[in-house]
Amino acid sequence: MGLQETVLMQLRDLILRGDYAPGERLAEQQLAERLGASRTPVRSALAALEQEGLVEPSAGGGYEVRQFTSAEVADAIAVRGHLEGMAARLVAEHGVPRQLALDLQACLDEGDAALAAPVLKVPHYARYAAMNDRFHALILEASGNRALQRAVQLNDKLPFAPASAMLPMQGSLALDRDWMLYAHRQHHMLVQALKAGEGVRAEALAVEHTQVAQFNLRQALERRAESEKAMPAIRLVIGR
């Protein structure tokens, strides 16, 4: 886990919370000061967010927040679930090679370690996110289906569609940790299904896994609505 991953997660969270409105320019120096980082990881994080479809180049240089709706996000998450479900089924049907089993177990162990703290902070989220991205990438790569891999890459360019983009950083710390633990238990069950060659179960688990992201999206939008009521001068346009 590096500083760039931490900054990336914080920027995603700020955009989802509505701290930066669609069309608002994101100044590197101001972001760096707010996040307590240098401009280099901020610049890298902004480039990553452009690839994810959250920001876009600004006419005056740099980046600005891209406008998107909750429906777009929910649809993208749903599509990812079905694509990753297909990938999981293919891996289970092909069989899990020894190296893949070792790599997946390493991810499970890393996730267990990241969630061991009684209270999760940004570095814990960033560590978990790095593991989570690798876990999902391993399964996708092992599916051996190039068309499926390209479809996931294309879908990942939509706002909050990538595997770690909707980690639960919007609610209370205790609730966040509960949902993270639940999601990681799903990882454990998915690996068991893959090793057992249970293609149908693996597919169902992978699809169900994205329900955590859908729940986190709903929670985030509810909190944004509450913030909008408390501060009516701030216009949050995410929504249908």
- Residue 96's domain comprises 70-227
Alpha helices in the chain (DSSP H): 3-17, 28-35, 39-51, 70-94, 98-114, 122-143, 146-155, 173-196, 199-230
Pick the last residue of a domain from 67, 97, 123: 67
Residue 151 lies in a domain: yes
Q: Indicate whether 51 and 90 sit together in one domain.
A: no
Q: Which two tokens stand for residue 97?
A: 């090679």
Q: pLDDT per residue over 74-131, tens digit each?
A: 999 999 999 999 999 999 999 999 999 999 999 999 999 999 988 888 888 889 999 9
Q: Indicate whether 52 and 29 sit together in one domain.
A: yes
Asked if 145 contacts 90 with a C-beta cutoff of 8 angstroms, the reply is yes
pLDDT: is 180 or 175 the higher one?
180
Q: Indicate whether 144 and 36 sit together in one domain.
A: no
Residue 110 lies in a domain: yes
Which of the four pLDDT bands, split at 50, 70 and 90, describes residue 226?
low
Point out the least confidently predicted range of 24-28, 137-141, 186-190, 192-196.
Answer: 24-28
Mean pLDDT of the chain: 87
Q: In what order do the strands lie in the sheet with 63-65?
A: 25-26, 63-65, 55-57
Q: What is the mean pLDDT of residues 212-222?
A: 81
Q: pLDDT per residue over 179-196, tens digit each?
A: 889 999 999 999 999 999
Q: Indicate whether 62 and 154 sit together in one domain.
A: no
The secondary structure element, H or E, covering residue 56 is strand 55-57
Point out the least confidently predicted range of 8-22, 98-112, 214-228.
Answer: 214-228
Looking at residue 122, its pLDDT comes to 82
> CATH number of the domain that 168 lies in?
1.20.120.530
Residue 235 lies in a domain: no
Euclidean distance between CA atoms 128 and 107, whole angstroms = 9
Q: Indicate whether 178 and 61 sit together in one domain.
A: no
Residue 178 lies in a domain: yes
The number of domains in the chain is 2
Q: Indicate whether 57 and 81 sit together in one domain.
A: no
Residue 232 lies in a domain: no
Specify the pTM: 0.83
Q: Indicate whether 55 and 76 sit together in one domain.
A: no
Looking at residue 136, its pLDDT comes to 97
